[in-house]
Structure 1
Amino acid sequence: MSGVESAATRTASPPLSVSVRPARTDETVAGSASSNFTTPERVGEVSRNYQTSAHGQTMSPDDDNDDGGFGYEKFVECIKKIVAISDGIRDGWQLQTKEGWDNGHFITKKVSQILEKSSGEGTKSIVVFEYHIAYNINYGVPVLCFVAWKQDGSSLQMEEYCEYNENFSNSDVLSTLTQLDHPVLCRPFLTLHPCRTREIMDVFLSKSKNPVVSWLSVISPFINLKLEDEYIKAC
């Protein structure tokens, strides 16, 4: 098995011990499909449903491990289009490949952000994020995972990140953010849990030219990942 071509070599933060509140309901976003799904109002609606449904009954990959209409080949097609758009606007997404793996294609992007604690304490930090979009074979969906480093080179821990991100300042929302092994690199990354991604994808599969972009338009606001209009226009 060969190494990852052009992939980042930094080590992600060590596994964390984080308490996650138990699941509460079985709400879904499957019934919220709309032909006008790329408008800000539509993105906001599905985003709110995603945040709510993340507390629902967790779907195990053993419950339904087919690709649900969104297989790996379609995923690769979508992320290559993302990279093509990114190259045109110099947005930083890069295609990575790990040969010998059934899901060896993924994309990465590094970006610096100034974070301020959501508690209003006024503490600010410059943090470098490295975002990855990969394909989870067990769930048959894309996953967004990331690592982050502070100015001193140390990893940003999940508890710290939640202090800086008001979307995760409430412990109830921790069930949407967890630490899982990267689907390709097999190292721990902070990850938006894929258990409800299938339901989000189902909203877009028959309507979007690029379901990965449409899915990103829903989840990116939760982690302050800016999605340029050029990507949305391609849907």
Structure 2
Amino acid sequence: MALAGRIRSALPLLTKALRTYPLPAQRSALALSNSQFSRSYATPTGKKEEKVKTPLALFGGSGNYASALYLAAVKSSALDKVEEELLALVEAIKKSTTFAQFTKDPSVPADIRLKAIQQICEEAKFSEVTKGFLAVLAANGRLRYVDSIAKKFTDLTMAHKGEVKAVVITVIPLPAEEEKELRETLQEVIGRGKTVKIEQKIDPSILGGLVVEFGQKVFDMSIRTRARQMERFLREPVNFGNL
């Protein structure tokens, strides 16, 4: 069964867990911190630990969690698998109202939250890294941030692979040939050693043309922006003395 299917089949377990009478949360058993998660995947004593660093410096709570997960995944040689599992979980949350409410509801007792996420992980056959990480999020009441953590984790995996994301915003999907030409143009800009990955987004409000968000730059070639520029130009007073 595909990963997404395994997650869907596990959702009834979530409903069952939420119906369980909420027992008092045992903080001594559940108070797992971000640093404890990282230490749980440290190299066993007696073995020389390979120095692992994140390819990007991320900040904030989601950035710290994503960085800790990245380090654990790299040390366990499970980076691709962990990324697949995390993204599949995020997609399942988006498609299930019950699951989404569960992750965002702070009133769910910590022990129920932890038990439910552990059952889902077991049913979905997640890796030990992903299971441990999600247990930390559940225990610390941070499951509601899993989407933003996943996005930052993807930024790390892309940097690890030498990939650069370009977000292309258009009114309709780019034809394959135009997407190919755009990718080749952006590839020339970044040069060798890195690979461009294009993410297309549809936004009818730009009216036409396209907007490209690439690295720290934004190339706005939309009809909406051109119309605004023309409007500003027409509103400027005319100096007849210069005519």
TM-score using structure 1 length: 0.28
Relative contact order: is structure 1 or structure 2 higher (C-alpha 8 Å, sep ≥ 6)? 1
Larger radius of gyration: 2
TM-score using structure 2 length: 0.28
Q: Point out the structure with the larger strand share.
A: 1
Q: Point out the structure with the larger helix share.
A: 2
